[in-house]
DNA sequence: CACGAACCGTACCGTACGGTACTGATGAGG
DNA sequence: CCTCATCAGTACCGTACGGTACGGTTCGTG
């Protein structure tokens, strides 16, 4: 793993021991590499050099392991909100473009795609809270950053909207469109990732045309 | 099933016998009700009153059955393109709103959600063409309808855009935003479906503000 | 050193699934 | 009536997984 410090912090924040965090890291790696089918309890135990008995002691059952994986991954993401006090038209656009590009990068990430596929696969059987967890811990997190940015823009007189959620929904849709679904369906991200910057700029331009305050 | 005529037609279009179409219909029903885990060969055989041996004779293996289900469902959808020769600003907006609402209804449909979940679940293991099939047969189909509508709007001088794909992507994003993913993740569609009309109108208004020709 | 807790590695069990083989019934054609 | 093909129903096999139990090892503590 490439970031032990962040992992330890994430584990501590979730009440996990460092060892358990390492196990979850290996589980995520298995999931990313081979999909849900490859994520067997025996496989996790083998990859993490621990026993199945420990897995069941720590996480209860397979569902608990999956939940812990999602919570663990979410706890690693830290949303740095750079809500600058001074915003002009250019800096707002820069911040929006940076947000849009970050959003695309996050959604296109290996771990994000794997966890979303996992939660979607579990969503059919009712009672599975994985989808709700992913929604709450993932979307809310990045949504807060966007909400703060939009609110700052409005307070600075640069944006005009009544409903912040609606404005955020429009921004999200313009940025992401159907790319997330296409990546989830396995479309080769080769040609997609290259255009992220251009796509983010185009989307932000459209968003500003819709919600930018008349100069 | 509620539409034997359409099913027979769909089966005939795909080179399937009526019996095989009925089997696929039952398989889709199982998938919608219980998710992929409930879609076992024995379960399909029991639900459709056929033998497992026939399933393997007709569809080869489980993957073939899944592909046949997607192709069968896609063949049932017929895109009625009402490309009217006479378009004014109001009728274009009406057509766009109707398209947007149809799009939301399709994406929120039980079978659509179940098949998308299935294909996304299979997308992790490589070599699975289900995602590509769903993309090609589903998105292209409805994308053609939108493309024709947008092109008609441009020819009538009501829309202004350079790249039709980009305009369609903006329309799609404004209409759908992250609702499709949220539904795939299992969010209760109770509060969502009610607002489809309002949502479609808002999205089309925004789209026209972006791409409507200056009056 | 002695004791106990935690834990690894592995063997084990019950179950469920994908896929195959067999039997008997049905129905069309000569 | 005979024959052949199709198919339903079922029994069967190999495998793989989730979950549990147990022996052996390490390590902290008195």
Q: Check residue A140 and give its pLDDT.
A: 82
Q: Check residue B83 and give its pLDDT.
A: 61
Average pLDDT score over residue span A102-120: 96
Residue with the bigger pLDDT between B76 and B165: it is B165
Q: What is the pTM of this model?
A: 0.91
Closest CA to B162 of B171, B151, B172: B151
Q: Quick one: tokens of A40? A: 């067997």
* pLDDT classification of B188: cutoffs 50, 70, 90: confident
Average pLDDT, chain B: 89
Flag whether residue A140 sits within 8 Å of chain B, measured between CB atoms: no
Residue with the bigger pLDDT between A184 and B137: it is A184
Q: Check residue B140 and give its pLDDT.
A: 82
Query: Are B34 and A124 within 8 A, CB to CB?
Result: yes
Residue with the bigger pLDDT between A190 and B65: it is B65
Query: What end-to-end distance do the CA atoms of chain B give, in Å?
Result: 49
Flag whether residue B140 sits within 8 Å of chain A, measured between CB atoms: no
Q: Check residue B7 and give its pLDDT.
A: 46
What is the total residue count of chain B?
Answer: 215
Cα separation, A55 vs A48, whole angstroms: 10
A201/chain B closest Cα distance in angstroms: 13
Q: Check residue B127 and give its pLDDT.
A: 66
Is 60 exceeded by the pLDDT of residue B3? Answer: no
Cα separation, B61 vs B118, whole angstroms: 16
Is 80 exceeded by the pLDDT of residue A190? Answer: no
Cα separation, B38 vs B116, whole angstroms: 16
Is 80 exceeded by the pLDDT of residue A27? Answer: yes
* pLDDT classification of A11: cutoffs 50, 70, 90: low
Reduced to 3 states, what is the DSSP secondary structure of residue A212?
strand
A79/chain B closest Cα distance in angstroms: 20
Chain D footprint positions (protein CB, under 7 Å): 7-11, 16-22
**Residue reference for tokens 């393997």:** B56
B114/chain A closest Cα distance in angstroms: 8
Nucleic strand C near CB of residue A52 (< 7 Å)? yes
Q: Check residue B12 and give its pLDDT.
A: 54
Q: Check residue A4 and give its pLDDT.
A: 46
B116: nearest CA partner in chain A: A185
Average pLDDT score over residue span B66-89: 82
**Per-residue H/E/C for chain B:** CCCHHHHHHHHHHCCCCHHHHHHHHHHHHHHHHHHHHHCCHHHHHHHHCCCHHHHHHHHCCHHHHHHHHHHHHHHHCCCCCCCCCCCCHHHHHHHHHHHHHHHHHHHHCHHHHHHHHHHHHHCCCCCCCHHHHHHHHHHHHHHHHHHHHHHHHHHCCCECCCCHHHHHHHHHHHHHCCHHHHHHCCCCCHHHHHCHHHHHHHHHHHHHHHHECCC
- List alpha helices for chain A, DSSP H: 4-13, 18-38, 41-48, 52-59, 62-76, 89-107, 110-122, 130-134, 140-155, 164-176, 179-184, 190-194, 196-211
User: Between the CA of B178 and the C1' of D21, what is the distance in angstroms?
Assistant: 47
Nucleic strand C near CB of residue B37 (< 7 Å)? yes
Cα separation, B210 vs A46, whole angstroms: 55
User: Between the CA of A45 and the C1' of C11, what is the distance in angstroms?
Assistant: 15
Is 50 exceeded by the pLDDT of residue A99? Answer: yes
Long-range CB contacts (within 8 A, 24+) of A5-14? A6/A76, A7/A76, A10/A72, A10/A75, A10/A76, A11/A72, A11/A75, A13/A75, A14/A68, A14/A71, A14/A72, A14/A75
Select the residue from B108, B120, B207 to test the A interface by mutation, using most A Cβ atoms within 10 A: B120
Closest CA to A185 of B138, B94, B13, B82: B138
Chain C footprint positions (protein CB, under 7 Å): 7-11, 16-22
Residue with the bigger pLDDT between B189 and A197: it is A197
Reduced to 3 states, what is the DSSP secondary structure of residue A159?
strand
Q: Check residue B4 and give its pLDDT.
A: 45
Query: Are B178 and A182 within 8 A, CB to CB?
Result: no
Flag whether residue A169 sits within 8 Å of chain B, measured between CB atoms: yes
Average pLDDT score over residue span A4-28: 75
Q: Check residue B86 and give its pLDDT.
A: 78
Of the listed ranges A23-27, A187-191, B55-59, B68-72, the one predicted with least confidence: A187-191
Q: How does pLDDT run across A46-81, given as a tens digit for each residue?
A: 999 999 999 999 999 999 999 999 999 998 877 766
Burial degree of A92 (CB within 10 A; 0-12, 13-18, 19+) = buried
Q: How does pLDDT run across A115-171, given as a tens digit for each residue?
A: 999 999 999 876 678 999 999 888 888 899 999 999 999 999 999 999 999 999 999
B79/chain A closest Cα distance in angstroms: 20
Query: Are A185 and B34 within 8 A, CB to CB?
Result: no
Of A128, A177, A178, the CB nearest to B186: A128
Residue with the bigger pLDDT between B105 and B79: it is B105
A16: phi > 0 → left, psi -120 to 50 → alpha, else beta; which? beta
């Amino acid at each position: 793993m490439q970031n032990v410090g962040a992992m330890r912090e994430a584990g501590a924040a979730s009440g996990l021991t460092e060892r358990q965090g390492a196990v979850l890291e290996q589980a995520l790696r298995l999931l990313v590499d081979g999909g849900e089918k490859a994520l067997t309890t025996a496989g996790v135990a083998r990859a993490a050099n621990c026993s199945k008995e420990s897995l069941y002691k720590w996480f209860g059952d397979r569902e608990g392991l999956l939940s812990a994986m999602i919570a663990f991954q979410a706890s690693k993401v830290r949303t740095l909100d750079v809500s600058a006090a001074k915003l002009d038209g250019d800096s707002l656009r820069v911040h929006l473009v940076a947000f849009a590009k970050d959003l695309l990068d996050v959604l296109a990430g290996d771990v994000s795609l794997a966890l979303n596929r996992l939660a979607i696969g579990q969503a059919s059987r009712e009672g599975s809270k994985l989808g709700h967890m992913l929604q709450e811990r993932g979307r809310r997190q990045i949504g807060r950053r966007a909400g703060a940015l939009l609110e700052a823009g409005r307070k600075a007189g640069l944006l005009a909207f009544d409903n912040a959620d609606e404005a955020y929904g429009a921004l999200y849709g313009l940025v992401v469109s159907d790319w997330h679904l296409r990546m989830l369906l396995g479309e080769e991200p080769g040609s997609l990732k290259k255009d992220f910057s251009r796509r983010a700029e185009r989307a932000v331009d459209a968003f500003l045309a819709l919600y930018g305050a008349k100069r």
